[in-house]
Each structure stands twice: as C-alpha cells, then as structure tokens.
Structure 1
C-alpha cells in the first residue's frame, strides 16, 4: 500500500498545535461535563459511567466504521473517552474506596499494559499507524485508560499532594513544557513524547475543570457546570470549524 493510500485511510488527525489546543479543551469539558451528570444531576458515578460508556461505545463503533478521518466524529469520540474517564475514575477513587493513590496506580498499570500489548501485537504504538481496525481498537482502549488515569492523577495532585487546582495546573503545564523542550531539542522517540503529552493534557484539563466548577471554599470558582461545559463545547466547535485538520500520514513506527 503506498503512502497516499495510507494517508487516505488514516482515521486520526495530524498532531499539530491546534490538535493539542482542542485536546486540552476536550479534557476540561470531560471534567465539567462528567461532574455535571454525576454530581449536579445527582445521578452518581456509577450511573454517570454507564451513560458515558454507552456514548463512548457508540462513538468508537462509528469511528471504526468510518472510511476516512472526520474531525467532528473524532473529537466527539475523544470527548466521550474523557467524560467516561472522569466518572469512572471518580467511581474507582471514591465509591470503591481505593483512594486517589490506589486509583492512579491501578490506571497507570492498565495504561502501560495496553501500550505493551498494542506494541507486541502490531509492532508500533504510533498514531501514524492507526489506519485499520485492530490498531483503532488498541488506540481507543489506550486513550480511554489515559483519560481515566488523567482524572485520578489530577485529583491526586490537587487533593492528596495538597497542591490545589492552581498548583496542579502549574505542575502539569510545566511537565508539558518539558515534553515540548524534549521534542524540540532531543532525539527522544516522537511516539513516546506524543503519549507523554497526551497523558499529561488530561490531568491538566482535570484540574482546570475542577478549578472552574468546584466551590470557593475548595479553591474553585464555583461556576455552573452546565454553563462552563457549554462554553467549552462552543470553543471546541469553533476550533474545528476555523482550523482545518488533516488526517495523520499513515507511515512508520
């Protein structure tokens, strides 16, 4: 299969600055949207997880069935992973009683296992190889674990480590700058740096989302989860409409 055909079959976007901007907004929306359903609607973490898991499965099925990259479908699926990640992590951390440390450790282990099995099965975990169903299954499972881990890690940093939402945002923002520096000035694997950045943007979005909607007494701004979610969604839609996103080139490891 030549490079042109591979690129046409790619289902994920090229990794550019706008990709990361939308990703951070999407993860923030996952936090405010997930909390809106589980907390503001008083449905609880388990029911919230079930609702978002159904949306996630439908979105992934549509994404895999699609023949080409569709920006709105792709980002809908990303948002679905981050909302289910929010409620699932909260359920594991709080309802199951394993705490933020236990939840973070468990989810990190699952994420590493997902990447290891993906690599062992297909020989690469590069997003440039996500152009056929098997790779897509691994891609979305890995993303779901990374989004769930990000929620638990953000909560652990803000609460257990005692850094608060602002401190957590500074920590994860700083780590992302380290990844950027490594990308610009080192020869570290681009695939490894991608997944490091992808994972780190989730807890950044988690602490920013919590900062927006948590009570003033807990260091938040106490904004409405509904209005915050709606505003972020409008920004995401605007970015998708204003900035053209191409499919990632299907090549290499």
Structure 2
C-alpha cells in the first residue's frame, strides 16, 4: 500500500461505538432539522430542499478535496446528507403525492444499483478500501440513498402502517441488534453487516426524532424541534471534538480490522 492509499483510507473513520452514536444522532437531527427549517422557519419544502442541497454540495466539495479524514468536515457532510435525504423523500411523498411503498422500493433499487455499479467498477464495497476519488463518490452516493431509503421505510412503518414511532424504533433497533449478533458470531459478512446496519440506523433515528417531537395525539412526546435539534447537535459536536483531539477513530496506526 502506498502512502497516498493510506491517506485516502484515512478519510473514512473507524467503525467504533462513537461512529454509531454520531450516526444515529445525525439521522435524528436530519429528521428534526428538516422539520425545523420547513415548519418553524416556514421556508417550505422547496426552499428548504434547495438551501440544504446547496450547503451539502459545498461540503461535499470540501470533503472530496481533503487528503485525509477530518472529523468535523466528515460529520457535517453526513448530517447534511441526512437532512437532504429526508427532504428528498418528504418532497416525493408530500409535494408529489408518491406513495411511501413506491419510494421505499425505488430507493432500495437505487441503493442496490449503486452497490452493483460500485462493486463492478472497484470489486469492493468496503468503506475502508476507498483509495480513489471514484470510490469516494460511490461511497457518498450510497450514503445519500441509505438516508432517503431509511426515511421512506421509517415513515412507511411508523405512519402509513400505523405502528407508531416507539414501536417502529423498537423494531428497527431490534433488527440492528440481530445484525450485530450475526456479525460477531461470524455468520454475517462484515460489509453486509455494516451497510445493513447503516440503512437501519436511519429509520431508527427518524423514529426517535418523531417520537420526541410529534404531538402526543400523533404518538409523540411533543418536544419542540428547537430543543431537540440543538441538544442532539451539541452531543454530536462534543463527540466530534473528542475524536478530533484523540484521533480515536483514525485508521492510521489502529489494530482494528477494517470493514
């Protein structure tokens, strides 16, 4: 492995407990943040989507230009992808009236097509085997579709199927536990386990966000998005500062096996 390969690899963090905590919080912020911009600031879905997409595009360019993993840039990009993925699904269902069954299937197909294209071009789907700009583009496209798919699937189960936010969160959380046990029991491929859990953390986080912020009559606790979003963001910021100072999730020098 060349020095430049290691630099590219280090643009992706190790999959640690902090990784999953930040990921779930980011998905919740994506849900509550999109609602805050859309409803509290009265931007509307169209303006909110355009603004979020523009900011995301800026940070994707910044991220792609780095030669190593920079925690704050990486995680801001993830949070913005969460917001945009949520807004894409919300636009399709609320603005264009497309069924959540249709959007769930469509995004599942889009994600599968991304993985197929990625594997055929690069012969790997490992997030720690990203050694070229093309692989990183596949990586971020896959993440965008995981957020859009997770949003559609989460809304489908919790709202359209009527299971409610708490039960939906428990279902998705339980599936993640099963995948985790399968991974440690070595019956589930590490790459499959990672991407399956990555997809499921989106509806888990969305269910958490909706459970906290939706009105009690709709099955939520009724907390304001102006409270939930900043609190979760502060936790994310604290964890990112910790990772920045300790480099605890940096690939270089770690003995953790890459996924």
Match of 2:5 in 1: 6
Distance in 2 between the 1:87 and 1:190 partners? 30
Match of 1:78 in 2: 78
Match of 2:68 in 1: 68
Count of aligned pairs: 252
Distance in 2 between the 1:82 and 1:9 partners? 23
Q: Deviations over 1:182-204 (max 9, x none)?
A: 11102422111100010000000
Q: Following TM superposition, by how much is the alpha carbon of 1:72 offset from its aligned partner in structure 2, in angstroms?
A: 0.5
- 5 Å matches for 1:122-137? 122-137=122-137
Match of 1:238 in 2: 238
Give yes or no for contact 1:8–1:247 (8 Å, CA) kept in 2: no
TM-score normalized with structure 2 length? 0.92
TM-score normalized with structure 1 length? 0.94
Distance in 1 between the 2:258 and 2:121 partners? 16
Unaligned runs of 5+ in 2: none
Distance in 2 between the 1:143 and 1:23 partners? 11
Give yes or no for contact 1:38–1:87 (8 Å, CA) kept in 2: no
Match of 1:227 in 2: 227
Residue 247 (structure 1) aligned with residue 232 (structure 2): no
Distance in 2 between the 1:99 and 1:252 partners? 38
Residue 166 (structure 1) aligned with residue 169 (structure 2): no
Query: SS in structure 2 opposite 1:129?
Result: coil
Distance in 2 between the 1:184 and 1:160 partners? 34
Query: SS in structure 1 opposite 2:128?
Result: helix
Distance in 2 between the 1:7 and 1:227 partners? 40
Match of 1:109 in 2: 109
Unaligned runs of 5+ in 1: none
Greater shift in the superposed pair: 234-243 or 61-70:
234-243
Runs of 4+ in 1 over 6 A off after TM superposition: 249-253
Distance in 2 between the 1:248 and 1:170 partners? 32
